[in-house]
Amino acid sequence: YFMLKHDAITFLACFLNILHHHMSLMASVLTFFGTYCVGLKQKHVGFEWGPGDILVYETNFKLQGPGFPFVHVVRKDEDIYSPILRKLFNESHHIFVGLQNIKDDMPSKNKKPQFVSVSKNYRSVIRACMEELQQVAGMCLSCYCVILFFVEAGILLLHLLDWVRLHKADVDEKVREVLQSESPTHHHAYWEVVISFVLQGRMDEARQILMKQANLQPASRPIYQLMDSLLQKMPIFNPGSTQTLTEFDVKWRHWHEECDRYLQDNSFASNRHLETICKILVGDEDTMLEHKELLGTWYHFLVSRLLFFHPTVKPSELHYYAQSSMDMFLDSRSAPEPLDSILLAAFEFDLHQVIKDCSIALNNWWFVAHLTDLLDHCKLLQSHNLHFGSNLREFLVLEYASGLFSHHSLWQLAVDYFDHCPEFGRVYLELQIERVPLETERKALKVLRICEQRQMNEQVRSICKIMAKRALSNNRLGSALSWSIRAKDAAFATLISERFLQDYCTRGSFSDLDLIDNLGPAMLLSDRLTFLGKYREFHRLYGEMRFTEAAKLLLSLMTAKIAPRSFWMTLLTDALPLLEQKEVNTYVHNAELQRPIYNCFSHGTNTVEHTAEEEV
Amino acid sequence: MFVARSIAADHKDLIHDVSYDFHGRRMATCSSDQSVKVWDKSDNGEWHCTASWKTHSGSVWRVTWAHPEFGQVLASCSFDRTAAVWEEIVGESNDKQRGLSHWIKRTTLVDSRTSVTDVKFAPKHMGLVLATCSADGVVRIYEAPDVMNLSQWSLQHEISCKLSCSCISWNPSSSRAHPPMIAVGSDDNNVTYSGKVQIYEYNENTRKYAKAETLMTVTDPVHDIAFAPNLGRSFHVLAIATKDVRIFKLIPLRRENATSSGPTKFEVQVMAQFDSHNSQVWRVSWNITSTLLASSGDDGCVRLWKANYMDNWKCTGILRGDGSPVNGSSGQGTALSAVGSAGAQSQNSVVGAASAGRYFFPHLDPPRAGSRLALLLPPPSLIEPTCETDHTHAHQPPQIRRRYTPALPTQPAEHD
């Protein structure tokens, strides 16, 4: 490569020397030189689409410069290869299908609980998946959960707490560590655990841990007892009870004031930890922010803040708190990340923004497709003034399902997704399913069944044809014949029947007797196949010594003229031993039947060699 | 996007074409070294070369697979002025054990007097039909009347296009409403001959191909052309690689009277036009469901284009020659970026830079220190926004995540 370049430049230098008087030509030389350099530098990239990947290779379409001997397999969607996510895809598929089967004409008040249960099911699948995944991915998935919460109208704060507990599960590990240590109360993480519990609203657990400390310090027992009673008394709204929200609010305010009073009169001044907890209970934001590392994220902060400041928050007010929590929690250095804006949009109930942000931020379509589908079923997309709701749903579901199709086993799930896309689902399925590799007969039958159930006749025919062709080239005649019968491919069946007859002529016996004996009406697909079936039947009758029937059949084969010409000689030879049979003799000598056989005889003998004729 | 694996193709010269078979389990490569290689994918995803043979006495431009209904059949075309048809035969069992297959030449199509620049099998509903085009401006359509005998090919049609032909594409539609149709692109450099894309349609009455349309707006050389899968639509979509990437919509106009024997007339619309390769475009190709278009140009990159559900086209990914994504462009991202601004959309036929900030599903990569969501983040290189107009990025070494890194031969520096 270097040599080539060097030579070329030397050559150019000489060339320039010769031409240096001819300035008028310089321009073109420079152009040439320029092109040459570009040619050297330029690498082109060729590519080829595959089912789940793209092949990329370096080439040069201008035919200059070196090539590069690699073909790279570039894959787009790697998530489908994750075994845990595969479980998620599998499980969510059932929920999706269930959702599609909710009847449209059902009164909407009956539908709502169903939608809520679908959403819950999605969440529990996500949850199960999270437990298996490392914490890393789990966090991301937990954000899916919060978005799903919003789909359900419900008791907001309870849901949020539930969500935060789910995603900040490391507290449970820490508490185990503390309790298993020799002296839990002196463990360095002791207070962290207590405060974490409080921040998550897990008061009973916080009290249990606190009691350990109280038991060891009889002197400060009163303030521990005071804190214990505060934590115990903290009102938690119970949606199942008869209590109204207003009643709860009055009760909560009363409790809040009580906490505030203790804080003001320095009841906890002797123990800074208890004082901190008390400050949290009255909703002191600065104190909460001092424990950023326990909160972890701005949305945890948001939830804790609401818990101790405004537990009866309405969904419509949430966005205000979300935005301010984020601003307070994040210092100016760290800009919000994509996930933050997704959550913010979710808190704002801007479903469309959520879908859009998720599509950009996440590299698979699982979440957006299912979310949009659910929203569409709840008729929530329309209420947000999107008139193209159903198109958006179909677009995303098609994308998700197409991704599944490139996977060697998940493609079967995708079929149901395509089934529920009224506009393009069918044609996408047709295009994708015919590309499913048919490595084995079993897999081919599986694909075939899916096509048959959907009356995809062209795909059915094509699959059978491919299998027939493959079997034939591997010399598996029986399989080739049965596939071509399934394909209703008369020409191919004729060709294979001919091969069977040829094989018979050379070997004197048939292969694949099971198949040929049981052709039934399929025999009528082509004349040659009919002949093959009937001729084999003749052999069977003959073998069973049913000579009269055999002779009748042979005769009808001769008269019906479906036997290939090349085969007539064989037929006549077959007739000879029959003529020697007594009962056949009487049958053949029946005048009515003599004419056709003689016709056949004369016709046949005209075409065969004289020696054969003499023999006959 | 990431490089799942790299295959050492072991061709002695430039690779000109790589072609997947219908099911994506085999591929064929062809090269200036005059050979074709066939590769088979094993169950663990590895590719093995199972055949390699000299096919022509010149550079092999293109290699293509027939539909598997016709068996394992390849066609190749070459600078040696011929096209050839190859069929795999099941050889001795010990060959199979050694992972080798036998390909035999069924026919050589010698009608062209110049380099045969492209070869394509027609859609299977037309039977086993093959089209070639050549530098002397002739498209030839051959047919194997007996699909069991591939050594018999008859030249059915010769279409004179007047301009040097570089590429052909069959319309894949199998709808009865659409007669067989083939589009031809010309790489003729002379801009005074306008209309470098011609569309020919088969006429049942005359039993000939007749010109149905010339895309007069395409005046620069055309190097590749590709009809999109039809998806049951009444119109056709055609992508063209010329000085930019163009996507045309061809809407058949209702005939004046049903008996008229002339070719179909079309209303031609430009659906999209992308000039972000900033240079000559060499290849265009659609994925199976035509939701993605890939193009490759003088900028040495493959670009992926995607329409959202409102038919707005955006670049959703850029790949270099080594398969690595450029600046983390990946994922489905921009497909939805026009969502929500339905009313405020410009009728953009030219889509320039698309910025696509990408965020990955969490991976098991080590966390980036200091981030609140450190554990969620992919490596930094992958979340930079794609910035196509910023050329400083183009010269940075690509940051790739590979699952498998082949031993790359050291290459001489190219910029000096």
**pLDDT on residue A594:** 59
pTM score > 0.80 for this model?
A: no
In this prediction, residue A142 carries a pLDDT of 47
Q: For residues A141 and A386, what is the distance between their CA atoms, to the nearest angstrom?
A: 27
- Give CA B152 to chain center in angstroms: 28
Report d(CA A266, CA A259) in Å as an integer.
Answer: 11
Q: How close B387 gets to chain A, by Cα (Å)?
A: 15
pLDDT digits (tens, 9 = 90+) for B348-394: 333 332 323 222 222 323 333 333 333 333 333 322 333 333 333 33
Query: How far is residue A255 from each of residues A208, A279, B359, measured CA to CA in Å?
Result: 21, 13, 44
Q: Which of A44, A140, A395 is closest, CB to CB, to B282?
A: A44
Question: What is the pLDDT averaged over residues B176-191?
Answer: 92
| Cβ of residue A355 closer than 8 Å to a chain B Cβ | yes
Name the token pair of B395.
């010269």
pLDDT tens per residue across span B221-248:
999 999 999 888 899 999 999 999 999 9
End-to-end CA distance of chain A: 79
Q: Is A34 on the interface with B (CB under 8 A)?
A: no
| Nearest beta carbon to residue A50 from set B20, B289, B296 | B20
CB < 8 Å to A140, chain B: 361-362, 376
Q: What is the pLDDT of residues B104-147, one digit of tens each?
A: 999 999 999 999 999 999 999 999 999 999 999 999 999 999 98
Spatial CA neighbour of B115 closest among B65, B56, B169: B56
Q: Note the CATH number of domain B15-322+332-351.
A: 2.130.10.10
CB–CB contact A69 B340 (8 Å): no
Position B371 scores a pLDDT of: 34
Mean pLDDT of A299-303: 84
pLDDT at A468: 94
Q: Which tens digit of pLDDT belongs to each residue from A339-371? A: 777 777 777 777 777 777 777 766 678 888 888
Interface size, chain A vs chain B, as Cβ–Cβ contacts under 8 Å? 276
The closest CB to that of B322, out of A72, A78, A431, belongs to A72
Residues of A in contact with B1 (CB under 8 A): 74-76
* Rg for chain B, CA atoms, rounded: 23
Q: Do A136 and B223 touch (CB under 8 A)?
A: no
Helix (H) or strand (E) holding B141: strand B138-143
Q: Which two tokens stand for residue A245?
A: 């929200």
pLDDT tens, position by position, A526-557? 888 999 998 888 888 888 888 888 888 888 88
- The packing angle between helices A547-560 and A568-579, to 10°, is 150
Tell me the ipTM for this assembly.
Answer: 0.79
Q: How close is the nearest chain A Cα to the Cα of B208, in Å?
A: 27
Dump pLDDT digits (tens) for A370-405.
Answer: 888 887 887 776 655 555 555 788 888 998 999 888
pLDDT of residue B52: 95
pLDDT at B185: 96
Count CB neighbours of A247 within 10 A. Answer: 13
Residue A310 phi/psi, 5-degree rounding, is: -155, 70
**Residue B337: strand, helix, or coil:** coil
What angle (nearest 5°) sits at the alpha carbon of residue B390, between those of residues B389 and B396? 135
Sign of CA dihedral A540, A546, A548, A549: negative
CA B266 to chain A, closest CA, distance in angstroms equals 24
Domain ranges of chain B: 15-322+332-351
Distance CA A29, CA A9 (A): 13
Q: Do B6 and A71 touch (CB under 8 A)?
A: yes
**For the segment B152-181, what is each residue's pLDDT rounded down to a tens digit?**
999 999 999 989 999 999 999 999 889 999
Assess contact for B273 and B241: CB atoms under 8 A: no
Q: Pick from A53, A136, A359: which is nearest to B4 by CB?
A: A53
